[in-house]
Amino acid sequence: MRKLFTLILSVLFVSAAFAQDNPRAVIKKTDVKPVVDGVIDDVWATVDSQAIVKPFYNDPTTPTTPTLGDAGQTWWKAMWDADGYYLIVNVADDNYFPNYVNGSGNPWDYDKPEIYFDVNYVLRDGLGPSSGGSGHYQFAPDMTAAKEDGLLTTETDGRQHAFKVENPAYVAEYFVPWGWLKDKEGVGVDKTGEIGFDVMINDNDPSVMARMRSIWGADNTQGTGEAWVNMDESGIITLEGAEAGNEVSSIELTGGTITTDNGTLQIGAVVLPEDAEVKTLTWSVATAEGSTGWASISSTGLLTAIKDGVVTVTAKAQDASFIETTVDVTISGQVIQVADVNVIKNGNFDEVDANGQPVSWGGWIDGAYGTPWTVVDGAASCTVNQIHATEPWHYQFSQSNLTAQPDVPYLLNFKAWASKDRQINFDFEDTSGNGYNRYGVSSDPTSTGESEWNLDLTTEPQWFKLHVTFTEMVPTTVQKIQFMFSKDDGTIYLDSMSLISEADMALIPTAIAQNNAAAFKVYPNPASSVLNVELPVANSTVAIYNSVGIKMEETLVNGTRHRFDVSNYTKGLYFVKSNNMVVKFVK
């Protein structure tokens, strides 16, 4: 089915296809898996190399061409099997200068490779990985001292990489599982078709102190920009020996009902035929037409109820059959909590990683403009060291892949303050592929009229309640909330952030809000030896966690009061949790 569809599209886009001079490579299938360790094993001698020699044209930051040896000394090789794609990159550098050697700066401005994939059925669509969810992918792990001797690093999604440095030259080796590569429709890569692919080498030298780039495919002669933004000029690979397997012909789903608060239901699925090559499904859930129900769903089809009503569950085949099936599930008995309907993840900043940074949050810092964000006393802390007179975006703190609904009024609530009186800018902003569009509107006096605001902060914490409706979403919109700070220095603190639709806000019982705000009490705060807890619900379980999520202790409280001995706790931030409520305290 997909081959016929691709043929039709190829006819429609034939003029565009012949306008490009994309390099091509045929990738051989292997029976011997390479060891991902940065060493050029004997198995790599069985495949041809592809020279990386094109300088990246029209780059205003590049004063000269990269110094990566003679033509053919810097190259890539690849092979494939049923599990995924193997790649090795040999870089004949004359001066090994990654960002960690420099001591600061953006990793992509210094030595490291970047690899790119486009697995859509139409390869020239004007998009790149920056568009998000568009069938385009970048894999560009940073060079670090710990990785220089072939250390294997494995991502949670199965991707692997290793670097072997023989200063100043180095080798980078990668494995990309096929399951990581899905087109913009969520369909797995078609191994019998054409795949967009590119390798770019970032090069920098102490004598230059600017990024120089060499590329296999997208040399930017057409002015489309780098592959991160637009992969139209990238190379094309085909997989030798790939054969079409049996495609999915039907999916049968079994639903049911959920009647308990936050109850779950495993959606049953039968995929036919039995010998279909790819039987993995992509799951999604939406409110049924004319209903108010809502739920979340896992990658295995486990549905968790959130709001009363009817939801429609969709299971889609991950092969090229485009087969999908739906089933309705009726939900009742739900008690709405703020966490259930909050679009923003980890809005209380009570989940942190091993580096003390808030989970689900990220961003970007331009060089020496600031220090990375952390969580301090339960609030996100962002410190700006260098001021830009007119542009706020040199220090960005953000969360992407939000799931707000279009054309629905939302309320954004959060608490903010700073180490000195200053202003901050923030917005709901799309990716570069969609022109950094502010994809919503607001009538707030502090807004620009779009989903962008300028707020005055003081040294005292204050609450902000803002309004936004996302009226300009498009199918490729990547929803992001982004705070920008570089127009002034100092430290900015953010806490208790929620983005909830006005309709959902009305469903949250007043009693629950009051309980969260008043009835659940923890004191004294800070605590030295004794911590008192007062609960709104008798006979509840109470647990205390430290700032990295380790449970310190847990107890079933008889009644509504309990006293914890925290005298042996180390100084720092802790969280008391009970009945989906969380209160912070400091030791």
Q: Do domains 22-239 and 510-586 have the same CATH topology?
A: yes
Rounded Cα–Cα distance for residues 574 and 586 (Å): 6
What does the pLDDT read at residue 221?
A: 64
CB 455 within 8 A of CB 424: yes
Q: What is the pLDDT of residues 565-579, one digit of tens each?
A: 999 999 888 888 887
State the pLDDT confidence band at 159, using cuts at 50, 70 and 90. Answer: very high
Rounded Cα–Cα distance for residues 58 and 328 (Å): 53
Question: What's the average model confidence in pLDDT over 348-374?
Answer: 89
Between 545 and 395, the higher pLDDT residue: 395
Joined together, the tokens standing for residue 376 give: 């301090």
Please list the residues that pair with 454 across neighbouring strands: 425
Give the burial string for 120-149 (b: 16+ CB within 10 Å, else e).
bbbbbbebbbbbbebbbbbbbbebeeebbe
Inform me whether the pLDDT recorded for 514 exceeds 70.
Answer: no
CB 24 within 8 A of CB 236: yes
Q: What is the pLDDT of residues 57-96, one digit of tens each?
A: 655 455 567 888 988 899 999 999 989 999 999 999 999 9
Query: Residue 517: what residue type?
Result: A
What does the pLDDT read at residue 353?
A: 85
Between 437 and 512, the higher pLDDT residue: 437
Rounded Cα–Cα distance for residues 58 and 66 (Å): 14
What does the pLDDT read at residue 144?
A: 87
What does the pLDDT read at residue 477?
A: 87
What does the pLDDT read at residue 9?
A: 41
CATH number, domain 362-507, options 3.90.110.10, 3.30.70.120, 2.60.120.260, 3.40.50.80: 2.60.120.260
What does the pLDDT read at residue 63?
A: 56
The residue extents of the domains of the chain are: 22-239, 250-334, 362-507, 510-586
What does the pLDDT read at residue 271?
A: 94
Rounded Cα–Cα distance for residues 267 and 109 (Å): 47
DSSP state of 355: T
Inform me whether the pLDDT recorded for 258 exceeds 70.
Answer: yes
Joined together, the tokens standing for residue 450 give: 């779009």
Instruction: Give residue for tokens 């605001």.
Output: 453
Terminal alpha carbon distance of the chain: 63
Question: What's the average model confidence in pLDDT over 493-518?
Answer: 72
Inform me whether the pLDDT recorded for 12 exceeds 50.
Answer: no
* Nearby residues of 470 by Cβ (< 8 Å), 6 or more positions away: 404, 405, 406, 407, 408, 410, 428, 439, 440, 451, 479
Inform me whether the pLDDT recorded for 286 exceeds 50.
Answer: yes
What is the percent of the chain with per-residue pLDDT over 90, rounded to a whole number?
Answer: 53
The CATH number that domain 250-334 falls under is 2.60.40.1080
CB 410 within 8 A of CB 496: no
Rounded Cα–Cα distance for residues 349 and 360 (Å): 9
In 3D space, the residue among 31, 35, 212, 236 whose CA is nearest the CA of residue 124 turns out to be 236
CB 217 within 8 A of CB 115: no
Sign of the CA dihedral running 411, 417, 423, 427: negative
Rounded Cα–Cα distance for residues 440 and 273 (Å): 44
The CATH number that domain 22-239 falls under is 2.60.40.1190
What does the pLDDT read at residue 38?
A: 94
Inform me whether the pLDDT recorded for 216 exceeds 60.
Answer: yes
Between 38 and 131, the higher pLDDT residue: 38
Between 545 and 75, the higher pLDDT residue: 75
What does the pLDDT read at residue 10?
A: 41
Inform me whether the pLDDT recorded for 4 exceeds 60.
Answer: no
Question: What's the average model confidence in pLDDT over 489-505?
Answer: 92
Q: What is the pLDDT of residues 106-156, one digit of tens each?
A: 788 899 999 999 999 888 888 888 877 789 999 999 988 888 899 999 988
What does the pLDDT read at residue 476?
A: 79
Whether omega before 55 lies within 30 degrees of 0, making that bond cis, reads no
Rounded Cα–Cα distance for residues 498 and 582 (Å): 14
State the pLDDT confidence band at 564, using cuts at 50, 70 and 90. Answer: very high
Between 454 and 502, the higher pLDDT residue: 454
Whether omega before 406 lies within 30 degrees of 0, making that bond cis, reads no
Give the burial string for 197-225 (b: 16+ CB within 10 Å, else e).
bbbbbbbbbeebeebbbbbbbbbbeeebb
Query: Residue 46: what residue type?
Result: T
Q: Tell me the average pLDDT of the chain.
A: 87
Residue 45: burial class (beta carbons within 10 Å; 0-12, 13-18, 19+): exposed
Q: Which of 106-110, 296-300, 363-367, 537-541 has the lowest mean pLDDT?
A: 537-541
Inform me whether the pLDDT recorded for 17 exceeds 50.
Answer: no
Q: How far is CA 554 from CA 523, 543, 573, in A?
A: 17, 4, 17
Instruction: Give residue for tokens 């999916």.
Output: 251
Question: What's the average model confidence in pLDDT over 444-463?
Answer: 94
DSSP state of 6: H
What does the pLDDT read at residue 13?
A: 41
Query: Residue 251: what residue type?
Result: I
In 3D space, the residue among 290, 341, 294, 337 whose CA is nearest the CA of residue 501 turns out to be 341
Whether omega before 107 lies within 30 degrees of 0, making that bond cis, reads no
HEC profile of 411-445: EEEEEEEECCCEEEEEEEECCHHHCCCECCECCCC
Q: How many CA atoms are closer than 13 Å to the CA of 365, on its beta-carbon side?
A: 16
Q: What is the pLDDT of residues 461-476, one digit of tens each?
A: 888 999 999 999 988 7
Instruction: Give residue for tokens 């100084």.
Output: 571
In 3D space, the residue among 339, 338, 384, 348 whose CA is nearest the CA of residue 363 turns out to be 384
Inform me whether the pLDDT recorded for 536 exceeds 70.
Answer: yes
In 3D space, the residue among 197, 221, 224, 128 whose CA is nearest the CA of residue 432 turns out to be 128
Question: What's the average model confidence in pLDDT over 185-195?
Answer: 86
CATH 2.60.40.3080 fits 510-586, yes or no: yes
Rounded Cα–Cα distance for residues 86 and 143 (Å): 19
In 3D space, the residue among 451, 521, 450, 481 whose CA is nearest the CA of residue 380 turns out to be 481
In 3D space, the residue among 30, 87, 17, 9 whose CA is nearest the CA of residue 236 turns out to be 17
